[in-house]
């Protein structure tokens, strides 16, 4: 979803000044219990946990990582479904949702993985199954490749990593001069137009979901972090690193994904070692965010996979 916010700017012909919203107001609205804030890796993280102690005993905890421009709320239905059998931990990644922007302004993958490991240590997660979407999927498989002892199983929902239009290896995407407007201008109607292509059926994009995305992007520092994350992105040809993944892996993809095409799934299936027993589920008529668009479509398969 990395290009959606910039698309929103291009489509926003009726641009208007859009100031930040007070953090206290956003936390009151979007960080109600069981949310809490955790200090780790030099950051104040927004974390939400669910699941019982009995459920946590059935297997390693599940750590869920959202995609670009999103927040931990994107996982709500899946988190509810998994909480009966697992300790489920959702986090807002640095500069996203209600997690503070990185104080050093760093959003490269190596730095992000170091921060995630620090958070896992603070939360008492020596090992976890990772569920990651898009950008969060890229962080999940990189963590599994570089720190295999920390990852039990992988669920990758339309993961980022292979080159695609506008995202080449070794160089940042061209964010253009208009990206400089994003910290000041983000009309809700323009953001809605930018989010709609992430759905196979845009009619399923509810107004409450649009409002949540919009308001959380108005958190202090969030829009600047979005631009910095894009500017610092450097994709590397992922095949050598994917060859180091050991965790059993489930790929989940919407058939109509317009952001990261389902054809990329074959790249992952070729690159992942046989030991991962990588499986692919393609969801008919769904787009880039199947866990939002139709949560029930893949949840049973994810539950079964993580229960093994």
For the cut 70, the answer to whether the pLDDT of residue 6 exceeds it is no
For the cut 70, the answer to whether the pLDDT of residue 3 exceeds it is no
pLDDT at 172: 83
Q: How many domains does the chain have?
A: 1
pLDDT mean over 8-28: 75
For the cut 80, the answer to whether the pLDDT of residue 16 exceeds it is no
Instruction: Indicate the Cα dihedral angle 253, 257, 263, 264, nearest 10°.
Output: -70
What's the rounded Cα separation, in Å, for the pair 53 and 40? 23
The domain spanning residue 293 has which CATH number?
3.40.50.1820
pLDDT mean over 85-95: 96
At 234-249, the pLDDT tens digits run: 999 999 999 999 999 9
Count Cβ atoms below 10 Å from residue 303 Cβ, excluding itself. Answer: 15
Task: Specify the 3-state DSSP secondary structure of 286.
Answer: coil
pLDDT at 283: 98
**Residue 222's domain spans which residues?**
4-307
At 205-219, the pLDDT tens digits run: 999 999 999 999 999
Arithmetic mean of pLDDT over the chain: 92
pLDDT at 12: 47
For the cut 50, the answer to whether the pLDDT of residue 26 exceeds it is yes
pLDDT mean over 137-157: 98
What's the rounded Cα separation, in Å, for the pair 273 and 271? 6
* Pure H helices in the chain: 4-11, 23-30, 53-56, 76-82, 109-122, 135-146, 188-195, 207-217, 222-231, 239-242, 264-271, 290-293, 299-307
What's the rounded Cα separation, in Å, for the pair 261 and 36? 35
pLDDT at 136: 98
The three-point CA angle 135-140-146 to 5° equals 125
pLDDT at 13: 40
At 160-188, the pLDDT tens digits run: 999 887 788 998 888 776 677 778 888 99
pLDDT at 167: 83
pTM over 0.85: yes
pLDDT at 183: 82
For the cut 90, the answer to whether the pLDDT of residue 132 exceeds it is yes
Cis omega before residue 147 (within 30°)? Answer: no
């Amino acid at each position: 979803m990395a290009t959606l916010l910039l698309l929103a700017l291009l489509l926003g012909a009726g641009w208007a000044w859009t100031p930040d919203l007070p953090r206290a107001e956003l936390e009151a609205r979007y960080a109600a219990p069981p949310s809490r804030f955790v200090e780790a890796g030099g950051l104040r993280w927004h974390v939400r946990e669910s699941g019982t102690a009995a459920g946590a005993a059935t297997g390693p905890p599940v750590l869920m990582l959202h995609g670009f421009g999103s927040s931990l709320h994107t996982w709500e239905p899946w988190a509810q479904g998994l909480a009966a059998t697992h300790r489920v931990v959702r986090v807002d990644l640095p500069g996203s949702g209600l997690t503070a922007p990185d104080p050093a302004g760093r959003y490269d993958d190596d730095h992000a993985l170091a921060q995630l490991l620090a958070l896992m240590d603070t939360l008492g997660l020596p090992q976890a199954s990772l569920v990651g979407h898009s950008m969060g999927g890229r962080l999940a498989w990189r963590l599994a490749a570089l720190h295999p002892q920390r990852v039990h199983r992988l669920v990758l929902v339309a993961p980022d990593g292979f080159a695609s239009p506008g995202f080449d290896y070794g160089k940042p995407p061209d964010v253009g001069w208009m990206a400089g407007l994003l910290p000041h201008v983000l009309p809700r109607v323009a953001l809605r137009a930018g989010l709609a292509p992430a759905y196979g059926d845009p009619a399923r994009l509810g107004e409450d979901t649009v409002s949540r995305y919009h308001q959380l992007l108005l958190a202090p520092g969030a829009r600047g972090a979005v631009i910095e994350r894009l500017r610092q992105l450097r994709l590397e040809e992922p095949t050598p690193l994917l060859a180091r993944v050991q965790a059993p892996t489930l790929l989940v993809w919407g058939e109509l994904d317009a952001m990261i095409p389902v054809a990329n799934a074959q790249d992952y299936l070729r690159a992942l070692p046989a030991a991962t027993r990588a499986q692919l589920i393609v969801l008919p008529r769904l787009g880039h965010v199947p866990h939002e668009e139709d949560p029930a479509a893949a949840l049973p398969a994810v539950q079964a996979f993580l229960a093994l």
